[in-house]
Structure 1
Amino acid sequence: MTTAHWLFGDQLGPHFLAPGQEGPDRDAPVVMIEARSVFRRRRFHRAKAHLVLSAMRHRAAELGDRVRYVKAETYREGVREAVGSSPLTVHHPTSRAALGLVRAMDGVRVLPALGFLVPHDDFRAWADGHGGVRLRQETFYRWVRRSHELLMNGEEPAGGRWNHDHDNREAPPAGARTLGAPAPYRPHEDDVDEEVRHDLDRWERSGEVSFVGRDGPRRFPASRREARSALRRFVGHRLAGFGPHEDAMLADDPVLSHSLLSSSLNLGLLDPAECVGLAEDAWRRGDAPVNSVEGFVRQIAGWREYVWQLYWYFGEDYRRSNALGHHAPLPDWFLDLDADAVTARCLSTVLAQVRDTGWTHHIPRLMLLGSHALQRGWDPAAVTDWFHRCFVDGYDWVMLPNVVGMSQYADGGRMTTKPYTSGGAYVNRMSDFCGPCAYRPSVRAGAGACPFTAGYWAFLHRHRARLERNPRMSQAVRGLDRLTDLDDLLEQERRRGNGPP
């Protein structure tokens, strides 16, 4: 008898059903389980819940009679209904909780993880060989490039440099409201989306489930066909302009030239190898410059891969990291995505983007949302949970290292060499947010004081003893000694507390 294969909701691409030594049996029956308890445990963004359920139901429709699609309260109940006590295979899940679940269930055989370039054992050997403590992304990225012969000319990196980040930090063009990039791929909703929206409405009305954010027309792919269309659209029309303004922010152009492929990759609709392969092909044809292609490749083969591996390598204790001793709760205005309560135009604009779409690109995530949380001293575990719930591409493995390590510096530097936070000058340089804002980026204290500028100096003051020993932060910390208004600034921040800036 052929063993059935269980597909989680982030294992939706065809590669998760490829037969062979490391895959399920050829033509194995498929089990998919829609567990309501997942949505009861956390207050997810409504658009995220819609996307995940739409993607699962689209995949089930594609599989037809091959799939047993079960709607149940829990995964265990769903498995019992689908196969009883019969054996199952499943590819290594993407969260520690899910892996613990499947390993605890009788008759479930766990196959190797898919959807990433580097097997766990290969990464562990590499990491152990580098001491296993401070594992820098750049070193890992070069190893992946070499071992996968990715964007290489023989033994040398394409374009003569491993990292073209220096060419990818341009501020937005002066006076421009948009970059003028070709529009990204956008899917069209269908009957499956209508069914999902009806179910979510019913769950909310009954009080079974509570969501945050808005569920407008679906903006991200929910099927392999849509994801491939989005990938081709990006590589063919948007990749060439991606690099230079990768870090820019514009109020009226939140998408810029970004790929919008993270949710498709994290649902398993796309495989990273096909994404970087198409991008490299575009460079070799002369259709995109090396800095744009390298920047995109670094996001996938460098950062995404690195985050996935560190999630497993650092272990469960990493979740409780809090090197800076931050314990302030997240305020209601942030939890509710109440952009209208916020005066600071940069934060209000980005919070509205998250509220309306469940997405904003990596710089607003890091340098606005994450930076504000870091400056306010919010609990890193709560910040991690917020990012997990509120972003369409957010999963435990994605957000734990990204937030604990990169954004909140809660691991004390295991992932990054310094905290990533700044004053209003950076926001002003890299965006058009500051011009119409009620606050002035150059003002630290008093009327018009920018909450990011004041917050930056308050953060440095609060952690001076630690940060002045950091070679990358020591000069900034010494700047505290030149501030004549530091006492006024600190009193102002104390009064501001956790309210909306």
Structure 2
Amino acid sequence: MSSVHWLFGDQLGPHFTATAAGGTPRNVRWLLIESLAVLRRRRFHRAKAHLVLSAMRHRAAELGERAQYVKAETYRQGLARAVGDAPVSVHHPTSRSALRLVTSMPQVTVHPPRGFLVGHKEFAEWAARHKGRRLLQESLYQHTRRTHDILMDGDRPAGGRWNLDHDNREPPPPGRATLGAPPPYRPREDEIDEEVRRDLDRWEREEGITFVGRDGPRLFPASRREALAALDHFVTHRLAGFGAHEDAMLAADPVMSHSLLSSSLNLGLLDPWECVSRAEEAFRAGLVPLNSAEGFIRQVCGWREYVWNLYWYLGEDYRQRNALRHTEPIPAWFAELDAEAVRARCLSTVLRQVRDTGWTHHIPRLMVLGSYALQQGWDPAQVTDWFHRCFVDGYDWVMLPNVVGMSQYADGGQMTTKPYTSGGAYIHRMSDLCKGCQYRPSDRSGERACPYTVGYWSFLSRHRARLEANPRMARAVKGLDRLGDAAQVSQAHHDAGYAPP
């Protein structure tokens, strides 16, 4: 007699269908449920909806007759239609809402999560050893490398240093419009993609479901075969040039040398272990420099593991954190990804990237999109939801800590040691986005005042009492005294304000 195992839409790789010993069970039927209610609840980027549905349908096709693919209004209805009251197993879902759903149904048995290197118990034990101290990503990163023997020479990190971030903060090469990296892997669409696109069109016409952004052609892997090809292409052709300029931005080169593997990891098409292993193998073979291998490995087994575990460890009320009491609603032009409504070249360029692809790399997310939202005082819950909906790799577990903690400082410093925001000088130094802009990054008054520069000083002024006690912000806050009346700064911020910059 066969059993039924439910695969969510972000549990699509072979590590979700393998036994604990690594084999594939012969007496299991696989169930995938496509829920229309998910698309009704949130206004997703259309490219994201396309990618997830295409990936689910590709996985069902791979599994063949052993897979049952159900289209339903809700997960509950789909499960009832597929198996009635029969028992079903599932791996621990990646969101609290999905976990509440499966644990509310007596017929469902929940197995431990897969697709991550650090389990909840291991993280809790690590956190207990740091009781009374901030749970720093760097500390977990070193723990993970030690326990999994990643990029280690005995009991020491390869090269003698754990973190080569200092070597990976180079601005873009002067005078060049692109980094010159080999182009990234891009998949080819097939008949499954065409079917998904027809369904999306029909749902918009007949079901009243709406999306933001543009869709097509698909830019990210939707199958295991494509994901492996993307990983191989990155390690072989692009990883070597990744490190030094991983924090740089170029208007004409949004992907630089980035891996573009986050959506594949977050769909479960790739396992983090195979990603870090391939990067280390390339370093050991002398094919890529240590700073590039370490920088990529830190993103996967450092930051990703940290964010995943904080999402569960910090509790459900973390999403309501709003230490700075920011309550301004996201304006319509931002919500609609209306890049043409924006005059500041950096923000317009990045919004256009999100609109057209559902993706930008981590620095535009943090220092252009997130920084502007923080300076403007937008509601962090709305900002979190926007990032969740508008990015192809965005999931609740990904965006909640990244936005509430890292980007919007809404937890008051529980996750980071300072707010991550800056004036226009940082964007000018790390990009070519100020070139040709009607604003000047050095100006904080007048018609050419940079919205980021004005916004930065206004942010410091509004939150001076909190920030001047922060050792990493005290010097910047003291700089307010050189600007004269703080009320003038606040007024300048209001004037630059809540209309498109």
Q: TM-score, normalised by structure 2?
A: 0.98
Which residue is 1:389 aligned to? 389
Which residue is 1:247 aligned to? 247
Let me know the Cα RMSD of the aligned residues. 1.2
Which residue is 1:30 aligned to? 30
Which residue is 1:430 aligned to? 430
Distance 2:236 2:485 in 1: 52
> Residue 186 of structure 2 aligns to which amino acid in structure 1?
R
Does the 8 Å CA contact 1:168/1:244 hold for their aligned counterparts?
A: yes
Shift of 1:132: 6.3
Which residue is 2:84 aligned to? 84
Judge which range, 486-495 or 286-295, deviates more: 486-495
Which residue is 1:74 aligned to? 74
Distance 1:237 1:379 in 2: 41
Q: Does 1:108 align with 2:95?
A: no
Question: What are the Cα deviations for residues 349-373 of structure 1, in whole angstroms up to 9, with x where unaligned?
Answer: 0000000000000000000000000
- 1:29 counterpart SS class: strand
Which residue is 1:355 aligned to? 355
Distance 1:132 1:228 in 2: 42
Structure 2, unpaired ranges of 5+: none
- 1:286 counterpart SS class: coil
Does the 8 Å CA contact 1:3/1:25 hold for their aligned counterparts?
A: no
Distance 2:214 2:299 in 1: 28
Shift of 1:227: 0.2
Which residue is 1:474 aligned to? 474
Question: What are the Cα deviations for residues 10-37 of structure 1, in whole angstroms up to 9, with x where unaligned?
Answer: 0000110002479995430011000000
Question: Number of residues paired by the alignment?
Answer: 501
- 2:28 counterpart SS class: coil
Question: What are the Cα deviations for residues 205-241 of structure 1, in whole angstroms up to 9, with x where unaligned?
Answer: 1242110000020000000000000000000000000
Shift of 1:159: 1.1
Which residue is 2:168 aligned to? 168
Shift of 1:484: 3.5
Distance 1:500 1:23 in 2: 55
Shift of 1:491: 1.6
Distance 1:120 1:490 in 2: 44
Distance 1:91 1:154 in 2: 34
> Residue 130 of structure 1 aligns to which amino acid in structure 2?
H
Does the 8 Å CA contact 2:322/2:411 hold for their aligned counterparts?
A: yes
- 1:406 counterpart SS class: helix
Which residue is 2:199 aligned to? 199
Distance 1:209 1:496 in 2: 35
Distance 1:124 1:487 in 2: 45
Does the 8 Å CA contact 1:19/1:26 hold for their aligned counterparts?
A: no
Q: Moved runs in structure 1, 4+ residues, more than 4 A?
A: 21-25
Which residue is 1:302 aligned to? 302
> Residue 384 of structure 1 aligns to which amino acid in structure 2?
T
Question: What are the Cα deviations for residues 457-481 of structure 1, in whole angstroms up to 9, with x where unaligned?
Answer: 0000000000000000000000000
Judge which range, 128-137 or 467-476, deviates more: 128-137
> Residue 74 of structure 2 aligns to which amino acid in structure 1?
T
Which residue is 2:54 aligned to? 54
Does the 8 Å CA contact 1:23/1:111 hold for their aligned counterparts?
A: no
Distance 2:249 2:296 in 1: 17
Q: TM-score, normalised by structure 1?
A: 0.98
Question: What are the Cα deviations for residues 236-280 of structure 1, in whole angstroms up to 9, with x where unaligned?
Answer: 000000000000000000000000000000000000000000000
Which residue is 1:154 aligned to? 154
Matches within 5 A, 1:92-103: 92-103=92-103
Structure 1, unpaired ranges of 5+: none
Does the 8 Å CA contact 2:249/2:364 hold for their aligned counterparts?
A: yes
Distance 2:366 2:322 in 1: 18
Shift of 1:487: 4.2
Question: What are the Cα deviations for residues 402-440 of structure 1, in whole angstroms up to 9, with x where unaligned?
Answer: 000000000011110000000000000000011200000
- 1:34 counterpart SS class: strand
> Residue 280 of structure 2 aligns to which amino acid in structure 1?
E
Question: What are the Cα deviations for residues 278-302 of structure 1, in whole angstroms up to 9, with x where unaligned?
Answer: 0000000000000000000000000
- 2:71 counterpart SS class: strand
Which residue is 2:461 aligned to? 461
Does the 8 Å CA contact 1:54/1:192 hold for their aligned counterparts?
A: yes
> Residue 47 of structure 1 aligns to which amino acid in structure 2?
A
Which residue is 2:376 aligned to? 376
Does the 8 Å CA contact 2:451/2:496 hold for their aligned counterparts?
A: no
Distance 1:304 1:380 in 2: 21
Distance 1:22 1:422 in 2: 47
- 1:192 counterpart SS class: helix
Judge which range, 203-212 or 379-388, deviates more: 203-212
- 2:441 counterpart SS class: coil
> Residue 202 of structure 1 aligns to which amino acid in structure 2?
R
- 2:177 counterpart SS class: coil
Which residue is 1:442 aligned to? 442
Distance 1:160 1:128 in 2: 27
> Residue 79 of structure 1 aligns to which amino acid in structure 2?
L
Does the 8 Å CA contact 2:50/2:193 hold for their aligned counterparts?
A: yes
Shift of 1:134: 1.5
Which residue is 2:218 aligned to? 218
Which residue is 2:145 aligned to? 145
Distance 1:393 1:287 in 2: 28
Which residue is 1:346 aligned to? 346
Distance 1:83 1:21 in 2: 27
